[in-house]
Chain A
Amino acid sequence: MKKRVIQFIGFLILRGCLYFVMAVLFLFLYDIIHKGGGAISLEFLTQAPRRGMTQGGIFPAIIGTFLVTMVTAICAIPLGMFAAIYLNEYARQSRITRVIRLSIRNLSGVPSIVYGLFGVILFVNILKFGTSILSAGLTLGLLTLPWTITASEEALKTVPNSYREGSLALGATKWQAIRTNVLPYAIPGMLTGAILGLARAAGETAPIMFTGAAFYLPFLPKSLTDQFMALPYHLYILATQHHEISLVRPLAYGTALVLIVFVLGMNMIATIIRYRLRKKKRG
């Protein structure tokens, strides 16, 4: 009997933990949607800011985030796929392979501001790209790389070994087997993982703060070497450094809402693709 009581209380506590976490999340989302929704309007989404950001919209920030995410994608997705192909298809159990995997795990733990510092040294100063979409995109690309490598590797692992062996036994070279009978099945999974990584990158502020993001630019960026506005950085400034903080508070909420929709939207797309993939496999 005592066992039952203890179990009941114990499980109740566990359930409480769960409710706490869900409550926090709902609280967050509710606050942002509620207060941010009020600021959202067509003008907000499609126009540039005016009057020192107290009026107007955040369109340049949306474009900027989109552009820098594209650069990140071009940098992180192919490199991630190639590294994953090496690890899963070519690498043997050796010291080098262990070192590579260790490095990947460590890279995923490096603080985002440290990536920002690295980006300043390498892309802004040494390679002389200056503060630009290119520098920021490449910095974010490095940040996302461990993620795309891991996700791509997971996708490759789901392809049964019998496909590889079957191909080899028919006289395919190793690369032929990979290209024709492994990659086609792995690529959808790789892309899903990549989109999730990009969603994370789109929300990062620290790596882009000093490599290219700016608070107020009168024109849209015309090339990769221009500075750009970005949603997360915009939110940061509106929330902490603007000279009329309380006045722009609603705009801050609106920016937060747009950013969340952008990020969670990408997450949802990736999840839907993954769900469809799983269904196709079963059927």
Chain B
Amino acid sequence: MIWLREGRGAESSNLAFRMTEAIRSKEGEEARPVGKSGFKAIRDKKKARPLRRRLKESAIHSFFFINGILAVIVLIGIFGFLLASAIPTFKEVPLKQFFISTKWDPTSPVKPEYGILSMIASTIIVTIGALVIAIPIGLGVAAYLSDVAHWRVREIVKPIVEILAGIPSVVVGFLGIVLFGPAIAKIFHLSNGLNAINGSVLLAIMALPTIISISEDSLNAVPQAHSEASLALGASRWQTLVRVKIPAALSGIIASFMLGMGRAIGETMTVLMATGNARSFPHGLLSSIRTMTANIAIELGEVPYYTTHYYALFAIGLVLFLMTFAVNMAADLILHRYQEREQ
């Protein structure tokens, strides 16, 4: 009996063929409709338990649903825990002072100060600096990739951009210290190069891949028909790019800027290592600054648990969370208006 010797799985056609050959030679006639007797037994068996099957499917559905809303739970959880840990701050520190005062000196034995305005300003300065660099360059690269580059160039550049995106932030910060820092110090005649400009350049590098890939996707998504209509009217490729494609992809492009901005705001290690971390209010691009993210990273390790200082750090975290949340929601809205219009 051939089929008794088979291995796992009736995969091999040779085996299947031999098996069926054996059956055919046994029957020796044209095939009748499929073996009703054997199969009917299974059909009846299954018919007896549809309820159990339905319950099982229902349970599986619920299981996956719970996993689905996990993301929502985590988001709410982050917000909730931050809020709960931040609120005790304001028993000691008036809300207004927290946001308006520029002095952050929680460890002062005389009069602890909890003003985060300097940090907010630092975050804003370094973010704007990063965007000033990253937006034109990122858009430029995206436009080049989508419109000008030969497909072979694209095939090479896209992985390179992904490599850039994959460099860990701590390594970028490290390069800020060893590479850009000395360069900046030399150019501007400073004692060291750890300042806002350094941070801006590094953050720009970190935001670039986001801006490039999303802008490029948006430009590629502009229907061919638009470009062809423009070219058919006698416009050059450059004019088509600038006057037709970019405006058509504008929502996606702006969304990419906002997402890049969100990245810059939330970056920790890069600014921690490269901006100097002085607590004072920034007085220029060459000053040493301390962003909100850096501040948390610096002080959380040594702060005694459950003091006002401790809670204040979580309050800063809450502010950070709300800022990036707002930026992301704005980017989302813009992208959705874009999708709606395209339909």
Q: Could you tell me which A residues sit within 8 Å of B by CB distance?
A: 3-4, 6-7, 10-11, 13-18, 20-22, 24-25, 27-28, 31-32, 35, 79, 82-83, 85-87, 89-91, 96, 99-100, 102-107, 109-118, 120-122, 142, 145-146, 149, 173-175, 199-200, 202-206, 209-210, 232-233, 235-236, 239-240, 249, 252-253, 256, 259-260, 263-264, 267, 271
Contacts and interface: CB of A to CB of B under 8 A. Distances in A.
A205 B118 CA distance: 24
A118 B163 contact: no
27 contacts: A11-B148, A17-B144, A18-B144, A18-B149, A21-B164, A25-B163, A28-B179, A32-B171, A79-B70, A91-B68, A102-B332, A103-B72, A103-B75, A109-B266, A110-B78, A110-B266, A114-B266, A115-B78, A118-B81, A118-B82, A173-B53, A174-B57, A175-B56, A175-B57, A203-B168, A236-B269, A240-B177
Interface string B199-215: 00000010010001000
A206 B57 contact: no
Contacts of A199: 166
Given A21-B208, A173-B57, A267-B163, A113 B171 contact: no
B65 A90 contact: yes
A275 to B, nearest CB: 10
A204 B171 CA distance: 10
Given A86-B68, A110-B324, 13 more contacts: A31-B175, A31-B178, A99-B72, A110-B321, A111-B268, A112-B268, A114-B266, A118-B77, A145-B70, A206-B297, A239-B177, A240-B177, A263-B168
Contacts of A4: 236
A14 B145 CA distance: 9
B139 to A, nearest CB: 8
Given A27-B179, A109-B328, A205-B169, A21 B238 contact: no
Most buried by B among A16, A235, A253: A235
B82 A117 contact: yes
A79 B67 contact: yes
Contacts of B332: 102, 105
- Interface residue tally on B, bucketed by range: 35 or more
Contacts of B190: none
B60 A83 contact: no
A203 B170 contact: yes
A26 B167 CA distance: 12
B179 A239 contact: no
B297 to A, nearest CB: 6
A264 B238 contact: no
A22 B236 contact: no
Given A205-B170, A205-B268, A236-B273, A113 B320 contact: yes
Given A18-B141, A209-B301, A239-B174, A3 B238 contact: yes
Nearest to B240: A7
Contact of A104 (B71, B241, B321): B71
B170 A15 contact: no
Interface stretch (B12-20, B23-31, B105-113, B153-161): B153-161
A220 B233 CA distance: 70
B83 to A, nearest CB: 11
A264 B75 contact: no
Contacts of B159: 271
Nearest to B234: A3
B289 to A, nearest CB: 16
B296 interface: yes
Nearest to B212: A21
Contacts of B297: 113, 206, 209
A246 B162 CA distance: 32
A83 B320 contact: no
B269 A206 contact: yes
Contact of A118 (B78, B138, B164, B235): B78
A240 B162 CA distance: 28
B100 interface: no
B170 A236 contact: yes
Contacts of B313: 117
A83 B140 contact: no
Contacts of B242: 10
Most buried by A among B173, B174, B179: B174
B160 to A, nearest CB: 6
Given A31-B178, A107-B75, A18 B171 contact: no
Contacts of A105: 328, 332
B187 to A, nearest CB: 16
A26 to B, nearest CB: 9
A103 B325 CA distance: 10
Contacts of A28: 167, 171-172, 175, 179
